[in-house]
Amino acid sequence: MVDLPLSDYLRFECEWSYALNPYEDIRILELTAERPDLHRLVTEAGGDFYLVDNEHVIRLHYTAEDQPLGAEADSSPAVVVTYRHIADVLWSEAEPFTQWWAAHPQCHRDYRAASG
């Protein structure tokens, strides 16, 4: 899930992790004001999370500058059911990274300008 413009950290992730990873089905969900239902789900999730084997929720925590702080795990059935629903909805609304990246050249860093 991203907001535009991308932070430096998210741009780095896109350029050096997602764009160079042909092995995973990475998707991007751009959060816009036109989708308050998605904003509500993101708020309910409390930010980034992993759903491991559909049985364990791992919530990730970051600083205001998007630097990782840590994570907490929760495998209680009620929490897992909630996060399964959130993951299913958000995944179905997201688009494949390569398609999203190609449609957002304004997010790409211009390395020619930086090196010249």
pLDDT tens digits for the chain (116 residues)? Answer: 888 899 888 999 999 999 999 899 999 998 877 888 888 888 888 888 999 999 999 999 988 887 889 999 999 999 999 999 999 999 999 999 999 999 999 999 876 555 55
- The CA distance from 41 to 21, in Å, is 27
- The CA distance from 22 to 15, in Å, is 13
Q: Mark whether 51 and 69 lie in a shared domain.
A: yes
Q: Which residues contact 23 (CB under 8 A, 6 or more apart)?
A: none
Q: Mark whether 47 and 80 lie in a shared domain.
A: yes
| pLDDT value at residue 91 | 93
Question: Which structural domain range is residue 49 located in?
Answer: 34-93
pTM recorded for the entire structure:
0.76
| pLDDT value at residue 75 | 97
Q: Mark whether 47 and 59 lie in a shared domain.
A: yes
Q: Mark whether 86 and 65 lie in a shared domain.
A: yes
**Number of domain units in the chain:** 2
